[in-house]
Amino acid sequence: MAAKAELQMSTALVTGASSGIGAAFAEAYAARGARLVLVAPGEPRLREVADRLRGDYGVDVHTVAVDLAEESGPDTLAKAVADIGLDIDILVNNAGFGSRGPYHETSADRDHRQVMLNVVAVERITHLFLPTMVARGGGTIINTSSTSGFQAVPYMAVYGGSKAFVLHFTIALWAEYRRHGVRVLAVCPGPTDTGFFAVLGSRMSAGGRLRTTDEVVASAFRALERGQAYVIDGRLNYLTSNASRLLPRGLVAQITERVLRRGSMVMLQPTNRRGRRWNVARLSPFGSSASSDGSRRPTGVGSDAALGRFVVPDQQVRSGQQTGDARAVESGRQ
């Protein structure tokens, strides 16, 4: 992270800033005195966030209401920024959403919009703002990937693929632009407490603790200070993301598919902040799951969920599946 004095002279553009992780990034930069450009399609919510940040931090906040899943969205955004007369020092490509279900049954239009927003817009917006940063010899780009980016995620094939793109695209740019003074970071949250699951259409909720948006932002800022190419938010997410990398990719995908389809795998979930208490619940992809505390929990398939937080064979522990909601029992990855 740049020094506070430096940030007070900076302009941060955050996409998906009207809620969740994007709103938390916007607030964190406002708290450090940066001027903001907040971007999302829904104008009323965007205005609400902007008014709050102006009131709380006294910073200059601009809003651009634009649908970045539209082909013309990124160019419309760049034009709006140029019309305001701002140079962007910090770009947070955060807007994104997921869908779930057997691929042939998901909406082709929704999947297309998902690729347009999660992949095409991220790439295009980076193309629009990076050259100025390179010319100035400084800048920051944070792209929101996901723990889903570390493996194939059956029943969330498009989402997992889109986040893998963001992860690898970002790491490549990190390597290319270090010597130009531009910091590039992929932030990979696991299940985080936002509106993501409502958009996903998940029926799941239950068990362990979701990470907070503030924790995700704090992880990103720490990683920027350390000059990392990517960061996985949360120790448990770090362990599970890396554990799956030790196995053959096909095997991981097969296990994930099986878990999500048949509920034949299980997992342990932490139920308190420090992960010292564990809840054991049984996977039941489309029904409800029973957990070790005796309650029944609704479940659903796929999500920004991860394969196998501690997914182990049925006989050893039991668990359920989730939709990116860490409390849900799952086997996908955020």
Ligand X SMILES: NC(=O)c1ccc[n+]([C@@H]2O[C@H](COP(=O)([O-])OP(=O)(O)OC[C@H]3O[C@@H](n4cnc5c(N)ncnc54)[C@H](OP(=O)(O)O)[C@@H]3O)[C@@H](O)[C@H]2O)c1
Binding site for ligand X (CB under 6 A): 15-22, 40-42, 45, 67-69, 94-98, 117, 144, 146, 189, 191-192, 194-196, 199, 304, 324, 334
Task: Classify residue 39 by its DSSP letter.
Answer: E
Radius of gyration of the chain (CA): 20
Least Å distance between CB 97 and ligand X? 5
User: What is each CA distance from 280 to 189, 277, 333, in whole angstroms?
Assistant: 23, 10, 17
Beta bridge partners of 92: 14, 142
Complex with ligand X: residue 45 or 261, whichever CB lies closer? 45
**152: left (phi > 0), else alpha (psi -120 to 50), else beta?**
beta
**Are residues 253 and 152 in contact, defined by beta-carbon separation less than 8 angstroms?**
yes
In the bound state with ligand X, the residue whose beta carbon lies nearer, of 142 and 317, is: 142
Minimum CB distance to ligand X smaller for 160 or for 263 = 160
Closest to ligand X by CB, 22 or 285? 22
Q: How far is the CB of 39 from ligand X (least distance, A)?
A: 6
Residue 230 annotated in active site: no
Q: 263 or 324, CB closer to ligand X?
A: 324
Q: Are 80 and 66 spatial neighbours (Cβ–Cβ below 8 Å)?
A: yes
Element (H, E) at 289: strand 288-290
Nearest residue to 57 via CA among 73, 38, 74, 81: 38
Closest separation in Å from C-beta 292 to ligand X: 23
**Contact in structure between 12 and 34 (CB atoms under 8 Å):** yes
The CB-of-5 to ligand X minimum distance in angstroms stands at: 29
Distance CA(73)–CA(65), nearest Å, equals 10
* Pairing assessment for the beta strands 182-188 and 139-144 based on DSSP bridges: parallel
Give, for 265, the enclosing helix (H) or strand (E). Answer: strand 265-270
User: What stretches of 16-58 adopt beta strand conformation (E)?
Assistant: 35-40
CB of 160 to ligand X, least distance (A): 11
- Taking the least distance from each CB to ligand X, the nearer of 77 and 317 is 77
Helix (H/G/I), strand (E/B), else coil: 203: coil
Tokens 């539209």 belong to which residue?
70
Interatomic CA distance for residues 171 and 161, integer angstroms: 16
Which residue's CB is nearer to ligand X, number 92 or number 281? 92
- Least gap, CB of 211 to ligand X (angstroms): 8
How many Å apart are CA 237 and CA 326, to the nearest integer? Answer: 10
Shortest CB 258 distance to ligand X, Å: 23
Which among 29, 57, 103, 159 is annotated as catalytic?
A: 159
The DSSP bridge pattern shows strands 11-15 and 90-93 to be parallel
Enzyme catalytic residues: 159
